[in-house]
Amino acid sequence: CNIPLRERNIVLIGFMGVGKTTIGQLVAKKLYRDFIDVDQEIEKIHNMSIPTIFQQLGEEYFRKVEKEFIVDICTNTRLKIISLGGGAYLQEEVRNVCLSKCIVFFLDLSWDSWKDRIPLIVNSRPLLKNKTLEEIEELFFKRRDAYSLHNSRVSTNDLDPEAVADQIVKSVK
């Protein structure tokens, strides 16, 4: 792909609630770049929350809008920091456009650390609602196959968001 490495968008992927938005905002600030949170943009466009979009328009519709939005920003912008929703990267077209035009960072948190966050995030994540811990665990590990297709992995265990952001900044400078 002909976009120089230094100009490529930086894309953050990883499971729900690992801190993609928080860390993305910090990276953007540190690099003086714009930040785009895909879920927040979809919420703005629809003037609805993600749970309401899932409930009223359905997951299939959400996935289509999510994919089209990501393909558009990855193809038509540079120098942005973009955080994806946790399920976006399961779509092949999303992986292809991210890997060919951007630099993809996988924010990796262990199951043991992550599961303590469930109570904090469950209400705003339709895919976690009404699931047993076993079902959530299965989803967590099933998704790792897709997330393993990245350019760089950052372990977020024992690191605060600032330290994770610093690692990302260091590795693209």
Positions that interact with ligand S3P (CB under 6 A): 16-17, 20, 39, 50, 85-87, 125-127
Q: Which residues, in sequence order, are bridge partners of residue 35?
A: 81
Q: Which residue's CB is nearer to ligand S3P, number 54 or number 155?
A: 54
Q: Which of 22, 40, 41 is nearest to 168 (CA)?
A: 22
Minimum distance from residue 139 beta carbon to ligand S3P (Å) = 8
**80/144 Cα distance (integer angstroms):** 25
Q: Which amino acid is at 84?
A: L
Q: What are the DSSP E strand ranges found in the chain?
A: 9-13, 35-37, 81-83, 102-108, 152-155
Is 37 annotated as contributing to ligand binding?
no
Minimum distance from residue 39 beta carbon to ligand S3P (Å) = 5
Query: What are 11's two structure tokens?
Result: 């894309």
Is 63 annotated as contributing to ligand binding?
yes
Q: Which residue's CB is nearer to ligand S3P, number 3 or number 128?
A: 128
Minimum distance from residue 16 beta carbon to ligand S3P (Å) = 3
Q: Which amino acid is at 27?
A: V
**5/7 Cα distance (integer angstroms):** 5
Q: Which of 172, 6, 1 is nearest to 75 (CA)?
A: 1
Minimum distance from residue 85 beta carbon to ligand S3P (Å) = 2
Is 86 annotated as contributing to ligand binding?
yes
Is 158 annotated as contributing to ligand binding?
no
Is 20 annotated as contributing to ligand binding?
yes
**14/45 Cα distance (integer angstroms):** 23
Annotated binding site for ATP: 17-22, 125
Annotated binding site for Mg(2+): 21
